[in-house]
Amino acid sequence: MSLTAIWGVITKIIDIGIVWLAFYYILKNVKNNIKLALIVKGVVIILIIKILSDLLNLYTVGVLLEYIVSWGPLALIVIFQPEIRSALENLGRTQLLGRHKILTVDERERVVFEIMKAVEYFKKNRVGALIVIEREISLQEYIENATKIYADLTDDLLESIFFPNSPLHDGGVIIQGDRITCAGAIFKTSMNPNVSKRLGTRHRAALGIVEESDAIALIVSEENGRISIACNNELNYNLTLDEFRMKLIDELSPKEEVFFEAENEEGGDNNA
């Protein structure tokens, strides 16, 4: 086989790989974003109706759908501009160049310790709080419009921020790594119709931010002191302190750490 033929095969593999990667990213965002899922469902329904109208010779319906198909993309861009922009921004925010800080074991333990001290205080005194921990997808869009802090994470600082008379009490705190980046952040509330109407604004805001990012949202209810964690498009509601701690530790732990530990254990056995 000549070099030209080999190069042709390589370029075709690269071409197919890029297409599959694009499809994977689109489907991943559709899965994690309720609004984008609704857009895709609407487009699929319109296409199905269009095919049926052509098969059944439905002239009037076909003409209307011709206009929809012709002007629909432009209408979608105008109407759903914030959602489309968010999806495109997420592509640039993902960890491609190692921007996100990876916490050491000691740093993770300190973060969990400080957060748990504050959460125990909030639960006991029924102080409402919303704490969002950034992971691989940047939350810069919300940080820009919030009050910048850039301080080490401590329970005292969290308690001061969410003190009922504090001007930052009603917003959310964003944590990057082991530092509090900002307070008073306002998040988009979830548009998921399946969310219980009994949930308050904090819980809906927590679900909203985890629907469009991979962040972890910690919620303390001001009404009853119940503590919850939202992540991976799910709300773990009314947890005990132990359940809350274990869930937080699990979500903060890098998934590949298990493999490293296993390799170290095997190396230790061999040395022995």
State yes or no: pLDDT of 265 exceeds 60: no
Q: How far is CA 250 from CA 79, 211, 245, in A?
A: 38, 19, 9
8-63 confidence digits (pLDDT tens): 888 888 888 888 887 776 666 665 555 666 777 777 888 888 888 888 888 888 78
Q: Give yes or no for a contact between 241 and 167, defined as CB atoms under 8 angstroms apart.
A: no
Report if residue 143 sits inside a domain. Answer: yes
Claim to verify: residue 156 and residue 74 sit in the same structural domain:
no
Q: What residue numbers bound the domain in which 39 lies?
A: 3-93
> Do both 172 and 230 map to the same domain?
yes
Q: How many domains does the chain have?
A: 2
Same domain flag for 113 and 248: yes
Model confidence at 248, in pLDDT bands (50, 70, 90)? very high
Which pair of tokens denotes residue 73? 């993309």
Residue 26: CB partners within 8 Å, gap ≥ 6? Answer: none
Global pTM value: 0.64
What's the pLDDT tens digit per position in 148-203? Answer: 999 999 999 999 999 988 888 889 999 999 999 999 999 989 888 888 888 889 99
Q: Which of 93, 123, 157 is the last residue of a domain?
A: 93
- Looking at the structure, tell me whether residues 196 and 116 fall in a common domain: yes
Question: 116 and 238 share a domain?
Answer: yes
pLDDT band at residue 244, thresholds of 50, 70 and 90?
Answer: very high
The CATH number given to whatever domain includes residue 136 is 3.40.1700.10
Q: Are 163 and 127 in contact (CB under 8 A)?
A: yes
Regarding whether 88 and 110 lie in a shared domain, the answer is: no
Residue 262 lies in a domain: no
- Asked if residue 175 belongs to a domain, the reply is yes
Q: What is the reported pLDDT for 1?
A: 63
Of 93, 113, 135, the residue at which a domain comes to its end is 93
Q: Count Cβ atoms below 10 Å from residue 177 Cβ, excluding itself.
A: 15
List, as own/partner pairs, every contact residues 37-46 make where C-beta atoms lie below 8 angstroms and the sequence separation is at least 24, other chains included: 39/76, 39/80, 39/83, 43/72, 43/76, 46/72
- 234 and 128 in a single domain? The answer is yes
Which is it for strands 179-185 and 234-239: parallel, antiparallel or unpaired? unpaired
Mean pLDDT of the chain: 81
- Give the C-alpha separation, 17 to 25, whole Å: 12
For CA atoms 10, 28, 184, 108, give the dihedral sign: negative
